[in-house]
Structure 1
Amino acid sequence: MSTNPDGDRDRLLAEAVRLREAGRREEAKERLVALSGVFPDDAEVAYQTAWVHDTLGLEAEAVPHYERALNRPGLSATDRRGALLGLGSTYRILGRYEEAVATLGGAAAEFPEDGALRTFLAMSLYNVGRTHDAMEMLLTLLAATSSDPEITGYRPAIEEYAKDLDATM
């Protein structure tokens, strides 16, 4: 475990995360930026730093932290999924739609059961003019995940129409 003069990395990171979770995001950001300076190659610190910037609406500032987190070893699968979703959705918010599609498309391939990734990918596909692909993805996801009896009763039809929205049956 790495340490620094101000204390132990794990303790400092945990404190910053608790601050973010408690709604003290500015304070968490200050601590995480400082921690990033001490541990510039730490993927988990970079991910948490990106996350807090995102929660503050500082999307452009979050991007390099997400990218650093994803380009270093050390993220758990859960944190990797979260960083990919965060980066992809942040690219989308910033109007970087092609990068959003590439990031979220890769993430959805890596984590195929994650409906949130596919939802954000569908929004990004819409933004690049791929409306058919976006609708197909959303309809397929809706049919597969809805517990609404009005939806489940039409599941086979929705799944079929998702393949070709222009088809008539």
Structure 2
Amino acid sequence: MSAASRDEVLAAAAALQEQGRLEEARERLTELAAGLPGDAEVAYHAASVHDRLGLEAEAVPFYERALAGEGLPDEDRRGALLGLGSTYRVLGRYEEAVATLRRGVADHPDDGALQAFLAMALFHTGQADESLRILLRLLAATSTDPSVQQYRRALELYARDFGAEP
């Protein structure tokens, strides 16, 4: 398949998703991924549409291929780490979720979504102290609520009470 054809299918699948025609997009992306098994970007888009359809178990191999491959744009890599980590959590694969989301936070330390999903996964593995520390720090750093901001320093200090930094 030519690069132009590949790009046309990706564009068509994106348009279908924007129109809410997720199943049609899934079919096209699954077929494209089968023909281009080493294409990390195609695998990422196939994973994402499976996830959007609630087909988490089917999304996992596509996410894993996307992250194992080369050439995935940084923003897609971030999305793949978040998507795979979240999907592992939904599937009850909590340790894998924590490991994946830690990779994401290591690569993107200022990404609040990755931190929030890591906190949820940590909670499921019995690491409530670290989970709460992450969430308190995230709340203090990102909330625009004036009452939260009034106590920002206190929240940051309380976050330290929940164990050592990872």
Shorter-chain TM-score: what band?
over 0.9
Pairs within 5 Å for 1:1-169: 3=2, 8-165=5-162
TM-score (norm 2): 0.95
CA positional deviation for 1:21? 2.2
Which deviates more, 56-65 or 16-25?
16-25
One-letter code aligned to 1:3: S
Count of paired positions:
163
Moved over 3 A (4+): none
CA positional deviation for 1:93? 0.1
Percent pairwise identity:
60
One-letter code aligned to 1:62: A
Q: CA RMSD in A?
A: 1.4
CA positional deviation for 1:165? 4.9
> 2 CA distance for matches of 1:27 and 1:165?
47
> 1 CA distance for matches of 2:18 and 2:69?
25
Compared with structure 1, are the counterparts of its residues 18 and 164 closer, same or farther at alpha carbon in structure 2 (3 Å cutoff)?
A: same
Gaps of 5+ in 1: none
Deviations, residues 114-152 of structure 1 (Å, cap 9, x unaligned)? 000000000000000000000000000000111110000
Tell me which structure has the larger Cα radius of gyration.
1
> Which protein is richer in helix relative to its size?
2
Determine helix, strand or coil for the equivalent of 2:97: helix
TM-score (norm 1): 0.93
